[in-house]
Amino acid sequence: MSMEKNNKISVDVETTYLEQESDPQKARYLFAYTITIKNTGLSSARLLSRYWKITGGDGHEQEVEGDGVVGQHPYLIPEQEFTYTSAAMLDTPVGMMQGHYMMVDDDGERFEVDIPAFTLSVPQTLH
């Protein structure tokens, strides 16, 4: 009987508009995003790489691929989590990001973890 793989990783995202570092006059909107990756499966796994598609409110898309996250390749045993913060620059006050992580389990099998789309938006300011 073959053991069924149980590679399960959950991804939780929180976003913040960085008003101090943004310059709406120059169409520069900077957002921080904090991501918590949690291993909810039964096998340990290491994060190898990331892929992002960032879409501005004008439909302009940029793709970002890279090794690891924030210079690290977190290794997550079951129930362990890893949190990091990074940033994205948009030229519109609203945009969205989605992508995936490439992971590898202890048997050397690679699997993709979907990062569901999330919105980046400047909070409405009331005067």
Domain ranges of the chain: 9-119
Model-wide pTM > 0.75 = yes
How far is Cα 2 from Cα 68, in angstroms, rounded to an integer? 31
State the fold for domain 9-119: Immunoglobulin-like (2.60.40)
Strand partners, 61: 55
Tens of pLDDT along the chain (127 residues) come to 444 567 899 999 999 999 999 999 999 999 999 999 999 999 999 999 999 999 999 999 999 999 999 999 999 999 999 999 999 999 999 999 999 999 999 999 999 999 999 999 999 755 5
Give backbone dihedrals phi and psi of 99, rounded to 5 degrees, phi first. 175, -155
How far is Cα 26 from Cα 92, in angstroms, rounded to an integer? 10
Q: Which two tokens stand for residue 36?
A: 């918590």
For residues 93 and 125, is the Cβ–Cβ distance under 8 A?
Answer: no
Q: Which two tokens stand for residue 103?
A: 């992971």
